[in-house]
Structure 1
């Protein structure tokens, strides 16, 4: 296998996941700033031009970070970061989906249509007027999640550290670098964020 890697939160999330699993895969850097991910060579690997992309042993390609992480989990089940039972896997997938759709996606597009506009306006359809609203949605849903943590759970899925935590932390960490800092009035999320930040995998 080979991981086509780059800057940005999505590749970072996959690297974190791999580090937590103890998985080593050769990496090839694709220059996102120069737009190499939109050139023909990479579009053969991933027609969406997204990063990262995983080349499998049979020469096929896999993209989308949740799909890549689920594939790696099946290849190396231990330690489980999605789940070791049907119930655990379903719970992790539920929370990862909620985190992705309600927080990470609006945060990401709030950046792409705002601070990142010059980089993205010639690559994808953009709606600059939507940026403030998307950022507001991400903050609102983060506040909701803070409330869901009120039962004293240590991680998004309770006592288990999972892909849901990695996914959320990766995007909140990115947001803090691009004008969407974590609102620390979300006290439970702030404690959770600082706790995850101590994990060596965040440096991956």
Structure 2
């Protein structure tokens, strides 16, 4: 892609004219958008430009975003300094982790830690995050929001809630006696799950009930972290963490 063709979604550059990364962020609370924001604030050592995409007006489902950034219409997306595009929040977070300067990895410092982090990240994604979102996508609110831009499944709403409830009940047992999913500090699995639960809470209050004491205590610990308040707002302009 040439810089001329990319219009308002094009390359950003340092004062020296060298291209730098662009994170396309959402203008409204979104589970997918909050995950890399929270990860970036927790990880630190990152520099990039940010552009806000208006999910509220379905800018992400329209040209030029779908032709110049992400044909699937998903936000966030990360344009690398060579022009290639990364989507999928876990891929963006892992890339941030690899290029960050200083600080501690949120994926893992060795092979064992990385394997455990990826195991837990996959578990919370498949067993909780995805079914919670699928449950919401069966609602009338989702029909109004997407306006025909996504195939929804109202008939599967009850099943998706049951799957998510089962995953949360299992996690409640798994968290018993430890502070975070990965151990004594938040890792990618914690950030992914918290990002989904905190944004879905108004629509799915059943997902964080007091009877799940370990999950509720974990949620409160994540909510109290300084990075969480920062991650609630979109990145804008030049970002240096």
TM-score normalised by length of structure 2: 0.81
C-alpha separation in 2, matches of 1:121 and 1:145: 34
Q: Is the alpha carbon distance of 1:180 and 1:132 closer, same or farther for their aligned partners in structure 2, counting shifts above 3 Å?
A: farther
1:198, distance to aligned residue in structure 2 (A):
0.6
- 1:72 is aligned, of 91, 96, 112, to 96
Q: Secondary structure of 2:148's match?
A: coil
1:133 aligns with 2:156: no
Give 1 or 2: higher strand fraction: 2
- 1:3 is aligned, of 15, 23, 28, to 23
Asked if the contact 1:100–1:167 (Cα under 8 Å) also holds between the matched residues in 2, the reply is yes
* Highest RCO, 1 vs 2 (Cα 8 Å, sep ≥ 6): 2
Instruction: Look up the match of 1:162.
Output: 187
C-alpha separation in 1, matches of 2:186 and 2:226: 14
Instruction: Look up the match of 2:38.
Output: 16
Instruction: Look up the match of 1:53.
Output: 77
Q: Which runs of 4+ in 1 moved over 4 A?
A: none
Moved more, 131-140 or 52-61: 131-140
Instruction: Look up the match of 2:235.
Output: none
Instruction: Look up the match of 1:191.
Output: 217
Aligned-residue CA RMSD (Å)? 1.3
C-alpha separation in 2, matches of 1:89 and 1:141: 22
Write out aligned runs for 1:7-46 (5 A): 7=28, 8-22=30-44, 23-44=46-67, 45-46=69-70
C-alpha separation in 2, matches of 1:27 and 1:113: 31
1:183, distance to aligned residue in structure 2 (A):
1.4
Structure with bigger gyration radius = 2
1:52, distance to aligned residue in structure 2 (A):
0.2
Asked if the contact 1:62–1:68 (Cα under 8 Å) also holds between the matched residues in 2, the reply is yes
Asked if the contact 2:24–2:75 (Cα under 8 Å) also holds between the matched residues in 1, the reply is yes
C-alpha separation in 2, matches of 1:100 and 1:50: 17
Asked if the contact 1:83–1:89 (Cα under 8 Å) also holds between the matched residues in 2, the reply is yes
User: Unaligned 5+ residue runs, structure 1?
Assistant: none
1:25, distance to aligned residue in structure 2 (A):
2.2
Moved more, 31-40 or 95-104: 31-40
Q: Secondary structure of 2:108's match?
A: coil
Write out aligned runs for 1:91-170 (5 A): 91-114=116-139, 115-150=141-176, 152-170=177-195
Q: Secondary structure of 2:56's match?
A: coil
Residues 146-195 of structure 1, C-alpha deviations (whole Å, 9 max, x = no match): 01112x11110122310110111111112212133411111001001001
TM-score normalised by length of structure 1: 0.95
